[in-house]
Amino acid sequence: MAERVLVSGANGFVGRVVCRRLLQGGDAPVAGIRHTRQWAALQQSVPGLRESAVLGDLGNNPDLRASLRNVSAVVHAAARLDETPDAPGNSLQEYRRVNVEGTKTLALAAAEQGVRRLVFVSSTKVNGEWTNHSPFTEETPPSPQDMYAISKWEAEESLRSIAAKTGIEVAIVRPPLVYGPRVGANFLRLMSMVEKGLPLPLPDTGNRRSMISVDNLADILVCCVNHPGALNQTFMASDGEDVSTRELIKRLAGFLNRTARFLPIPASIMRLAGKLLRREGAVNRLLDSLTIDSTKARLKLDWAPPLSLDEGLAGTARWYLESLSRPSRPERI
């Protein structure tokens, strides 16, 4: 029998792919959206989607009883993201309002309505911004460094407390960088520069980065909806292959029918420029390592990513090239 699963942030980058994956598995996703005006476009991009629920601004404590009625599980993908940390209005208070208080509101309402399980999309940034010799695991002590990461960690802690008090089951997934068709922010800008053939100022630091395609992330999130091994557990998840930033760009260039070009600029100059331009975090992500170990997910959930890194990158590049022929440039919705 099909389960009704509410997906918050259903119109977002991750949420819409979760809806598709639920439909493929025979379940009935309820698209949790903020405004009614998002519904028509979402139906077009996710064929077969039949039901929506207007959640409003979760950080403003909306009444969610009707939206959660007869729902058996929730995948909570809605969040204030970390893509524009310098945007007007960004503050730790605002991140907490949306990502912590909004998550608490949804979880408490779900528990009151008898929802069995809530699956939460967190972030490896909860553990920190970089790794040295050992990858992050679920046992790595939390070390959130920015407002987004702090709010995600506090949301996790709130969910664990609510689960202990109410009995609602919670599963938490911490993905690294998520990419795929309709990706935005830095990954989209990187593809644009590679496709244009621009030489990139990127020294060869030999770093290693874990990533996960949005399809692989959606797959493990849906797996966590019902799998008994996900009960009150936290999981790291990635594509399973770590690459240097240079190698990532070379592979992207190949799928974009381009040749990767690099400028021999020392890492010290790159880091100095990052500080001066207030882009230190973005520069560090290009130069430093951040790897995760998803062994726990593979063992407890018998989960393996459906797509390889190359398959995920090829699909992303294909979407980007197709987007270039449309009237407007590719844009995340």
Catalytically active residues, by annotation: 148
The residues pairing with 7 across neighbouring beta strands, listed in sequence order, are 31, 75
In 3D space, the residue among 163, 177, 154 whose CA is nearest the CA of residue 248 turns out to be 177
Structure token digits, residue 81: 């993201």
d(CA 285, CA 101): 29
d(CA 53, CA 30): 7
Exposure class string for 133-164: b at 16+ Cβ within 10 A, else e: eebbebebeeebeebbbbbbbbbbebbeebbe
For strands 51-54 and 233-236, give the pairing: unpaired
- Side-chain-side CA neighbours of residue 319 (13 Å): 17
In 3D space, the residue among 19, 166, 43, 38 whose CA is nearest the CA of residue 106 turns out to be 166
d(CA 237, CA 250): 24
Burial class for 300, CB neighbours closer than 10 Å (0-12, 13-18, 19+):
middle
In 3D space, the residue among 167, 169, 187 whose CA is nearest the CA of residue 177 turns out to be 187
Cα R_g (the chain), whole angstroms? 20
d(CA 202, CA 283): 9
